[in-house]
Structure 1
Amino acid sequence: MMALDEAPPVLAEAKSPEFLVQSMKELLGSITKTHLDPPLTVNDLDSELFDKIKPSGEVDDYYKSSLEAAHKAVLYDIAVKQEQNPEDDQIIVDFANLMDLALICTELDLVEGLPFNLLEELFDTQTIPASERLFNYLESRVERLTVGMEGGKGKALVLLRLCNELLRRLSKAEDTIFCGRILIFLSKSFPIAERSAVNLRGEFNTDNVTIFDDIPEENPEEQPAENVDSMEIDDDIKVVEPVVDSASSDDKTKPTVNGEKPVSIDKLYTMFWSMQHDFADPTRLFNPENFQRFKDALAATMQKFKEAEKQTRESTGDSAKAEPVPPSKNPSEDSKTTPVAGTKRKREDVETEGFNPKYLTSRELFELEIYDLTFRRNVLVQAMILLDFLLSLTPAAKEKWSDPKNTNRAVQYAFTLGPEDVTPVPTLCPRAVSNKLQEAWVTKTKDHMSGYLQAEQKGKLFMRLIDTVLAREKNWIAWKTEGCHPFDIPAMKKEDVESAEVKAMNHCKAERPFPYTMGTPTLNRLWVDTGRQLHIDDLMDEDRRRVPTVESFSAGVDSDLEELKDAMFPADIDECHNNIQTKTWKALRLASGSRLHVFNRFDDRFDETRNDIKMLEEKTQEDLKPRVIATATTTTTPAA
């Protein structure tokens, strides 16, 4: 780096941070823009003031460091103003103008990576509300900021670090929208095959722990005769349990597990929320004991959901018209007020306190949540995602992993889901099963859930959306298993383009005529030979297309008469007579159209050299002679 005392006095003063700060403040003060958009360009800056910032000679390291220090000094001054007056929108515009100036300097190769360094400094000094307002700048300049950005190095790392730091500071419960904006911005900035946004190792979010009330298990022998906290169920509700007396009506609507004693609502509460541990970490099900507990909990949950849906239909008549109404703890309360399921999750009721996207796991709210359609759908979709994960571990699915393209071994588990139900192995744990879990049970349960969801309100549309999401998720998993190969298709080489053009031109050329008219050489030769024998080529004679004259038959008749004189055999004589009569009839038939009046002038005088055609010619000449004389007399006589 060039020392300050080594530079000429004028040049050193022009490159000093103090001089650049003063010049930048004058330049930014000359900008009258009051809104975030449109972004600044070189043409929007005062050329004289901007020339003070630009170096007079080559851009060296001293100038780059001075320019970066000047930008940070101006940034801190604006940050101090923003802290004093946080609601002033003009300060956000001042931040945007400074960032645009840094972008212009970067585009002119005066400095490298300055905009992202300033943004990182800026967001570190701002509160969450101010950062949310400043993030509008990033969203509006995403195309300009990411020009020439390559994943995994350079400004891509700074941008990724900046956004990840923002996400760490934000609350997923209260700043959900801002978190979504950041994630959408990252998806626009980085290519779809960027590995930094992919969970390559297939790690599960085990930090997402669902906390619920710890309720001790009840001992039936020590239970009092009347429990005031238990739910009272109407006696007229129909269930799929064996008919018992009215004294045991409280147990009619309780779910059962493997045909055993009905599960109490308190035990179902613990079993239900314990499934969230399996949803957060599906590899827990590789343990046979955990898998059996999950099966029992899911079966009891499905049974309870069915009963809730059935009671809803019986109480409302149509689940599409009203929300489910759970039974009240005290029948006397029904006349006062009826609790409506789902009201606890309406956002407008908790707008001032912030919206919490996690489940409310209180024991007192458990019955109400079960009767909520949205809640049931959320839980069943979680279960379907988990079952889909188990189906990806079947022997048939794992055969695809043998493909050489599948290079990511981190998501290829050694566990295999068995093809059929297996008998539990006698162990110390009576519910333990072998490592070959039940593929048939998983498939059957998933189909059962799909049918249940389709039967509910707008269930077919909802299930179609879920199937689409699961199908796309399978494609993403397959892509991740193959090592996240890039989606971008490389540009074709110039040689390949030229070769394609030549091939296209060859295909566009006119093809030579097919040499075989009849399709094959054999058929073509057969056609030619047959035509020679049948004189088919004579059909192409031009004389066949012209109408003959009477005089054209005269020569043919004369030739036939000469052949008749030389004929020695009766067959030849008959043939000559037949030819003479045919040609004579054709000639007379043609003459009948224009010379029919001459036919009555034929005489019966016999002459061997005088046939009917010659006689027709003579009489025609005799008929034309007076007309020729009259015409000649008319033309030679002078007018009187």
Structure 2
Amino acid sequence: MPPSLLNSEFTAAISVALEARNSKPLTHAFNHLHGNETEKKSSLDQALRGFLLSEIIKQSESEEFLALISLSIDGVVEGVCSATTPFLLLGDVLDSLPLAQCDKIFSFVEENVSTWKSSSFYSAGKNYLLRMCNDLLRRLSKSQNTVFCGRIQLFLARLFPLSEKSGLNLQSQFNVDNVTVFNETEQESTLGQQHSEEKEDGMDGVEEGEMGDEDEPAPTSTSVPIDYNLYRKFWTLQNYFRDPVQCYDKFSWMTFLKYSDEVLAVLKSYKLDDAQASKQKLSELRTAGGDGVYFTKFLTSEKLMDLQLSDSNFRRHILMQYLILFQYLKGQVKFKSSSCVLNDDQCTWIDETSKLVFQLIRETPPEGDKFAAMAEHILNKEEYWNSWKNEGCPSFVKERPPETKPTRPTRKRPSPKDFLGKAPGSKIFMGNDELTRLWNLSHDNMEACKSDNREFVPSLEDFFEEAIEQADPANMVEDEYKVVRNSNYGWRALRLLSRRSPHFFQPTNQQFKNLEDYLENMVIKLAKELPKDLPSEEIKTGEEDDEDESGDNLLKESNDSPDMQSKLVSNEQMDEVAAKLGDQWKTLATHLEVKAMELREIEGENEDVETQAKMLLLAWQDQAGNQATVESLVAALNNAGFESIAADMLSSDE
């Protein structure tokens, strides 16, 4: 039969089937028409799409489209249609109808998710459904159609398995294109112009009409003045929220730290006391878009800053961004580079700031405690998802082991306990009287080996008792008769010190020529900690005498200049270096290994750069102690690129 005739026959059968709301007319026409099965399926698919096109042109109701799609589903089940036909019809309908009618069509798609996941439809239609949903998302507005977008995402989550790689973001990439645009020029900002007008005219406030309607509540007594500096820092933080990786950069982290401290301090002082007003404002936001929720991207106008700080919904968005950022920075993510590591100061700051953020969430009405508990629960769940992704997203479906034919049970091989005896009082015979006696000394031989009487390592006090007595000058024992001169004693002493004494692994500047001199020094240290019969004062005196008389024999000559090693940096030298460093003192700070917390205090308490440089050197001196020598400072200056300052310091020191 010619294709045109087949098409017309199937079109007539479709009309009858739609009127009867039954697929039997279609099946009857398919079985009685002449032609092979492939040609008839292709003709029926084309007839369904043509019939749908005519209904779209007529602007029929959504119910007619849904009836036609249901008819195609029944045709697939009966085997008269191709498995892809319902998805093609859905795509044609959603591409042709306005968004208001697409909502009803998509409800039908959601209700039949079990049908799409069946074996007859899933493999053939999953790509069509994914493409259809992506096309819908491109047409929808993320701010005005938030609920519809969420329904599409939930449908895809129900349709595809959890281990579907296309929806997991395995490499932890960020949407860096999500840029928050705000006024970065103070001259063009209304806050900057307002500040200049206040300075010129001496006015205390601004016109109320620019900030909102007359019905807006006035700021409470806890409000803070909004200036351009706060406005700029507040919206600059969005750059870190969209791309958290830059927080691992040292200088970017310092900026983020400074801005966050100021913004969170403002949120802490600018509290919302009227819970009822916050509830009313939240309900107004929820009903702004009709029955749905209007979720807009941040409005960054300077005039809205004061109102945004008074909005509980807005504050929760900002605080939740902090918690999500902190979880990523401290979490173990598989695709993080080796350089993305936080130091101890950064981890401490994040822990303290997280507690502050949760406190602010609890203080934000309405139902702050309930919202904080929910946020904490969700973040804990994210830790499980992160661990699952780090493991390569293994499937949650446990496959059954293949069924095997029952095999003949084999006889269990007896264990040694079966023939050596199981009861605690049973005696085990080893074939020899002496071996039997030794084996049966204890029921559990491993526990017997751990007994206290099996401990043969002596204590430090017992082992070095004789050496401590000989080290006392009052006993007048000559060096050649001391036990530390015995090589066998020295070898055992070193092994005992490595196990029992913390002094063995402590660094020292002394370089000993031989083992005997080293042990004499260690005996003197142990005598102070383990006094027994000899007074430690006498041993200490003897130590000082030995160091004065034979210091050259214990220590090797150092190649470095003794003046440079022991001479500490003076206040005059620090003043000269600070004056020459100026505003470049931060470059030297990294080489002096001063803590980041002290750097923030130095920068916040002093505005003069020379004073900041002097405070940096003082902080380094307090941190280094006896190691704050001229040599150390010269080395740090050379490493930081200040060779001329280092040369001037050496010349003045000479």
Q: TM-score range by the shorter chain?
A: 0.5 to 0.7
Equivalent pair of 1:16/1:66 in contact (CA under 8 Å): yes
Aligned to 1:304, the other structure's residue is in SS state helix
Equivalent pair of 1:146/1:189 in contact (CA under 8 Å): yes
Corresponding residue for residue 44 of structure 2: 67
Q: Of the candidates 76, 82, 87, which is equivalent to residue 116 of structure 1?
A: 87
Map 1:117-516; keep pairs closer than 5 Å: 117-148=88-119, 154-216=124-186, 223-224=199-200, 226-229=202-205, 265-309=227-271, 312-313=272-273, 320=275, 323=278, 342=281, 346-348=285-287, 351=290, 355-392=294-331, 397=332, 411-421=335-345, 438-457=346-365, 458-495=367-404
User: What is the deviation of 1:227?
Assistant: 4.2
Aligned to 2:404, the other structure's residue is in SS state helix
What CA distance in whole angstroms lies between the structure 2 residues aligned with 1:212 and 1:148? 51
Amino acid in structure 1 at the alignment position of 2:177: D
> Would you say 1:25 and 2:25 are equivalent positions?
no
Equivalent pair of 2:184/2:232 in contact (CA under 8 Å): yes
Amino acid in structure 1 at the alignment position of 2:395: P
Amino acid in structure 2 at the alignment position of 1:416: C
Bigger proportion of residues as helix:
2
Amino acid in structure 1 at the alignment position of 2:353: T
User: What is the deviation of 1:373?
Assistant: 2.9
Q: Flag the 1:350–1:180 CA change in 2: closer, same or farther, 3 A.
A: closer
What CA distance in whole angstroms lies between the structure 2 residues aligned with 1:375 and 1:70? 53
Q: Flag the 1:415–1:58 CA change in 2: closer, same or farther, 3 A.
A: farther
Amino acid in structure 1 at the alignment position of 2:350: V
User: What is the deviation of 1:445?
Assistant: 1.5
1:86-132 Cα distance to aligned partner (Å, 9 max, x none): xxxxx322222211221122223332311112211221121111211
Q: Flag the 1:100–1:373 CA change in 2: closer, same or farther, 3 A.
A: closer
Q: Flag the 1:101–1:323 CA change in 2: closer, same or farther, 3 A.
A: closer
Equivalent pair of 1:419/1:439 in contact (CA under 8 Å): yes
Equivalent pair of 1:24/1:53 in contact (CA under 8 Å): no
What CA distance in whole angstroms lies between the structure 2 residues aligned with 1:420 and 1:50? 73
Corresponding residue for residue 235 of structure 1: none
Equivalent pair of 1:193/1:485 in contact (CA under 8 Å): yes
Q: Flag the 1:12–1:450 CA change in 2: closer, same or farther, 3 A.
A: same
Equivalent pair of 2:181/2:300 in contact (CA under 8 Å): yes
User: What is the deviation of 1:226?
Assistant: 2.0
Aligned to 2:71, the other structure's residue is in SS state helix
What CA distance in whole angstroms lies between the structure 1 residues aligned with 2:120 and 2:141? 29
User: What is the deviation of 1:59?
Assistant: 4.6
1:540-577 Cα distance to aligned partner (Å, 9 max, x none): xxxxxxxxxxxxxxxxxxxxxxxxxxxxxxxxxxxxxx
What CA distance in whole angstroms lies between the structure 2 residues aligned with 1:133 and 1:353? 15
Equivalent pair of 2:288/2:294 in contact (CA under 8 Å): no
Amino acid in structure 2 at the alignment position of 1:282: P
What CA distance in whole angstroms lies between the structure 1 residues aligned with 2:223 and 2:277? 24
Aligned to 1:346, the other structure's residue is in SS state helix
Corresponding residue for residue 435 of structure 2: none
User: What is the deviation of 1:192?
Assistant: 1.6
Amino acid in structure 2 at the alignment position of 1:78: E
Aligned to 2:57, the other structure's residue is in SS state helix
Amino acid in structure 2 at the alignment position of 1:124: D
Amino acid in structure 2 at the alignment position of 1:447: K
Whose radius of gyration is greater, 1 or 2? Answer: 1
What CA distance in whole angstroms lies between the structure 1 residues aligned with 2:57 and 2:327? 53
Query: TM-score with structure 2 length normalisation?
Result: 0.55
User: What is the deviation of 1:267?
Assistant: 0.9
User: What is the deviation of 1:27?
Assistant: 2.2
1:173-194 Cα distance to aligned partner (Å, 9 max, x none): 2222221221122122111211
What CA distance in whole angstroms lies between the structure 1 residues aligned with 2:349 and 2:270? 24
Identity of aligned residues (%): 25
Q: Flag the 1:163–1:383 CA change in 2: closer, same or farther, 3 A.
A: same
Query: TM-score with structure 1 length normalisation?
Result: 0.56
User: What is the deviation of 1:21?
Assistant: 1.1
User: What is the deviation of 1:353?
Assistant: 12
User: What is the deviation of 1:286?
Assistant: 3.4
Aligned to 2:56, the other structure's residue is in SS state helix
Equivalent pair of 1:163/1:182 in contact (CA under 8 Å): yes
Amino acid in structure 1 at the alignment position of 2:200: P
User: What is the deviation of 1:271?
Assistant: 0.7
Corresponding residue for residue 542 of structure 1: none
Q: Flag the 1:115–1:54 CA change in 2: closer, same or farther, 3 A.
A: farther
What CA distance in whole angstroms lies between the structure 2 residues aligned with 1:231 and 1:491? 74
Equivalent pair of 1:174/1:356 in contact (CA under 8 Å): yes
The number of residue pairs the alignment matches comes to 405
Q: Flag the 1:352–1:196 CA change in 2: closer, same or farther, 3 A.
A: closer
Amino acid in structure 1 at the alignment position of 2:67: N
What CA distance in whole angstroms lies between the structure 2 residues aligned with 1:417 and 1:231? 49
Corresponding residue for residue 53 of structure 2: 76
Equivalent pair of 1:204/1:281 in contact (CA under 8 Å): yes
User: What is the deviation of 1:478?
Assistant: 2.2
Amino acid in structure 2 at the alignment position of 1:448: L
User: What is the deviation of 1:158?
Assistant: 1.0
Query: CA RMSD of the aligned region, Å?
Result: 4.0
Q: Which runs of 5+ in 2 are unaligned?
A: 209-220, 413-417, 428-654
Aligned to 2:344, the other structure's residue is in SS state coil
> Would you say 1:51 and 2:46 are equivalent positions?
no
What CA distance in whole angstroms lies between the structure 2 residues aligned with 1:390 and 1:492? 41
Equivalent pair of 1:15/1:66 in contact (CA under 8 Å): no
Q: Flag the 1:253–1:46 CA change in 2: closer, same or farther, 3 A.
A: closer
What CA distance in whole angstroms lies between the structure 2 residues aligned with 1:226 and 1:444? 41
What CA distance in whole angstroms lies between the structure 2 residues aligned with 1:353 and 1:478? 35
What CA distance in whole angstroms lies between the structure 1 residues aligned with 2:390 and 2:424? 54
What CA distance in whole angstroms lies between the structure 1 residues aligned with 2:392 and 2:121? 19
User: What is the deviation of 1:270?
Assistant: 1.2
Equivalent pair of 1:417/1:439 in contact (CA under 8 Å): no
What CA distance in whole angstroms lies between the structure 2 residues aligned with 1:372 and 1:136? 34
Equivalent pair of 1:13/1:19 in contact (CA under 8 Å): no
1:120-160 Cα distance to aligned partner (Å, 9 max, x none): 12211211112112112212222112212798x63211110
Corresponding residue for residue 426 of structure 1: none
Equivalent pair of 1:92/1:134 in contact (CA under 8 Å): yes
Q: Flag the 1:18–1:376 CA change in 2: closer, same or farther, 3 A.
A: same
Equivalent pair of 1:15/1:55 in contact (CA under 8 Å): no
Aligned to 1:494, the other structure's residue is in SS state coil
What CA distance in whole angstroms lies between the structure 2 residues aligned with 1:321 and 1:175? 28
